Amino acid sequence: MSGSGSPCAGVPREEASRRVDQVLSLVQLTAHADKLPGQLSGGQQQRVAIARAIVVQPPLVLMDEPLSNLDAKLRIEMRTELKRIHLELGRSTIYVTHDQDEALSLADRVVVLQDGRTQQIGTPEEFYARPATLDVARFMGYRNIIPLDVTRVDGTTASLAGPGIALRGLCQGRIGIGRAMAAIRPDDLELTEGDGEGITGRVETVEYCGRDYLVDLIASSGMRLHARSLERVASGDIRRCTAPAERVLVFPAERG
């Protein structure tokens, strides 16, 4: 595979050849060693880029959005390959991404930055279950960010109210009576019928996702909500969305 410069410059020829053979085997491209870049698929070209980065045996590897230009299928395949290569290589890697799935599946430790400031550092499991801020929650897939009024606080549980809304959630930080923001994943909003605690809304769009349906509803306040349903519903249906209190995270109201 030809290039504009040798990544093993200054290394004896025999050692350079050994390193190249080693990394080609690692990225599973030994059979394509004599091909030109134009003869390789997108996924294979990404593997070449990885090989060039690691053949010099750096103490630290930096990957900046390495999968951003690949289609969905290749992204999933290359994500698995990157995990395997990282484990076999045994070197620390800093991986920059805006994709929460990549962050959760690849990282041992996650750092979320917002405007150059660290928002949270922790394990993927900690990020998924307990995002520290609303910005982190948004990144981690909490698509329903709902401004509500806190009417009561019992320990770490807050009672929330709004137009057509009655919920309970877990306080994230110091929460008092007054305005707050509730964050809920679509997966945690269950569609039901009838009255009671929850959020009442009108079904606007329904997307079939294979195992379930992604449902967009319009609440009484005009806010758009995102939920998932195992059963198909129809546009125009009135449904109530409920979520367990432990799945509703209550954050202080955003300034401005």
**Domains (ranges, CATH) in the chain?**
13-96 (3.40.50.300), 143-252 (2.40.50.140)
Q: How far apart are the C-alpha atoms of 248 and 166, rounded to whole Å?
A: 12
How confident is the model over 38-57, as a mean pLDDT?
A: 80
Task: State the CB neighbour count (10 A cutoff) for residue 188.
Answer: 19
Q: Is the pLDDT of residue 110 over 90?
A: yes
How confident is the model over 101-123, as a mean pLDDT?
A: 92
Q: What pTM did the predictor assign?
A: 0.77
**Selection from 30, 75, 24, 19 nearest residue 51 by Cα:** 24
113: β partners: 118
Q: What is the pLDDT of residues 116-160, one digit of tens each?
A: 899 999 999 999 989 999 999 998 989 999 999 999 999 999 999
Higher-pLDDT residue of 93, 27: 93
Higher-pLDDT residue of 27, 63: 63
**Selection from 45, 26, 43, 28 nearest residue 90 by Cα:** 26
Q: Is the pLDDT of residue 9 over 60?
A: no
Q: Are strands 178-184 and 144-154 parallel, antiparallel or unpaired?
A: antiparallel
pLDDT at 91: 82
Q: What is the pLDDT of residues 93-102, one digit of tens each?
A: 899 998 988 9
Residue type at 181? M
DSSP collapsed to 3 states, the chain: CCCCCCCCCCCCHHHHHHHHHHHHHHCCCHHHCCCCHHHCCHHHHHHHHHHHHHCCCCCEEEEECCCCCCCHHHHHHHHHHHHHHHHHHCCEEEEECCCHHHHHHHCCCEEEEECCEEEEEECHHHHHHCCCCHHHHHHCCCCEEEEEEEEEEECCEEEEEECCEEEEEEECCCCCCEEEEEEECHHHCEEECCCCCEEEEEEEEEEECCCCEEEEEEECCCCEEEEEECCCCCCCCEEEEECCHHHCEEEECCCC
Q: Is the pLDDT of residue 42 over 80?
A: no
Higher-pLDDT residue of 195, 105: 105
pLDDT at 2: 43
Neighbour-count burial for 10-21, b at 16+ CB within 10 Å, e otherwise: ebeeeebeebbe
Q: What is the pLDDT of residues 53-68, one digit of tens each?
A: 878 788 888 888 888 8
Structure tokens given for 43: 């996924």
Q: Is the pLDDT of residue 248 over 50?
A: yes
80, 70 in Cβ contact below 8 A? no
pLDDT at 8: 57
pLDDT, mean over the chain: 87
Neighbour-count burial for 210-220, b at 16+ CB within 10 Å, e otherwise: eebbebbbebe
Report the range of poorest mean pLDDT among 16-25, 110-119, 178-187.
16-25
Q: Is the pLDDT of residue 6 over 70?
A: no
pLDDT at 4: 44
77, 67 in Cβ contact below 8 A? no
* pLDDT band at residue 7 using 50, 70 and 90 as cut-offs: low
